[in-house]
Structure 1
Amino acid sequence: MKLIRAPNLARAHELVIRYILEKGSLLTTENGEETVETDEICISVDTPLASPMVSASSRFKEAFLDEYAKNLIEGSDSVFEYDYHGRLFDWGCGLMQNGEIHQDQIRYIIDKLRQSPVSRRAVAVTWCPPVDAKLADCPCLQLVQCIVREGNLHMKIVFRSNDMLSAAGSNMFALAKLQEYIAEKIGVGVGTYTHISLVPHVYYKRDAADIPPFCEKGAQFTPRVEVCRACGVCQKAKR
């Protein structure tokens, strides 16, 4: 597993994109999309709320991500096959047990850590086997764990699969805001943020236009040759 440490989310996003584009292997997904992926990556961010939280290279700016984070924590009126707010704050997926199940897992985490600050059981999951096995678009985020140590709430995240170019920046931003929300409810500080991606990848053809701001057209780093060819915007790609 590759460990990437960074002082803030923006730098973490930049470093992980560089690693994947330089070191990744090509794979065509079951949906026929061209990706470059690596083995597992663990991103460790010391101060997730420190500026900048959003890389200047990302196509999504902070105003957009503030709204995305708000929807994660408060919910929205949009309708999807699933959404992370529902899976974390109202898990159940229509399952029945003495009536329909409605489990607020974030409330559970808050109550658990208020009751026992040293607990290792403050965990929320998103996967719902009888539902997600049939979905065309199923949750990438799988697990959220929070622990309190030395007066700070540390959050640990596991993604089964993670689009690191167009999604991970948004994911990390919103989850760090969720970390802040939980910490405030408990009355502790915000500690480290750990983001584990089991299959990190980039859709290098679909999202080719989003790559040059990260590599700065080859000035910062040179992606593997197939990625450069798909992008085709700089002299390195043409050579």
Structure 2
Amino acid sequence: MIKDQPDFMLFVAFLALGLLGIIISVILTRRRQQSGRPMVTEGGIDIATIVGLMAATTMFLTLVGPPAPEYLSAEGLVIVLGGSMAVTLIGHPLQDVVGSLGTMRLTFLPPPELTRRALLKLPKEQGKYADLDKPLLTPAEQAKLVQDLQVAARVTRNAGRYGMASGIIGALCLVVGWATTTQPAWTPEATVALLPLLYGTILCEWICRPLANKMDRLGELLLQGE
């Protein structure tokens, strides 16, 4: 909540930075699309990923403000991050979890093969690079890379879902604990009204869903002969 003029000016500054980051990202994307240039820099770094993360961080700081100790909670981080990591391990084979950590770098450093293909579409660029028409990956290597990307995307997507579920579970636990110990008017019936939601969320997001994901993945590995 903004209480004085300095806080208001700081809020406006962060808001302007966030909007500027989004505008820059949109402009760069449109210019590269119109010119047919690849959506990576010459060093291979994906501009959209970096600008998007910076804009998201700035927008978050705009909402909460830099000096916001009320938004820092060790217990909350343990519940969300710890729960997300634990349930991700339940829901995926260890090799998928470890492998996805390395594959995530491709969101910042896309495969050179994508850059080669983008340059190949530009006749004026073809003469600047030797062997531009030769693929950098064999069909087998390309198939393996696509498979790794799909697995990493699945692990990352589920980790985010488990993190959100862990946050909900943590919030329900804290509400029940806080109400039963500090609120005299809180009745046992009110607690019973929340507990089914807590139990159902734990059953769905911490047990059934991750086990189903792991069974699906194990079936895929059996079909692939791995």
Q: Which structure shows the higher strand fraction?
A: 1
Smaller-chain TM-score range? Answer: under 0.3
TM score, norm. by length of structure 1: 0.20
TM score, norm. by length of structure 2: 0.20
Q: Which structure shows the higher helix fraction?
A: 2
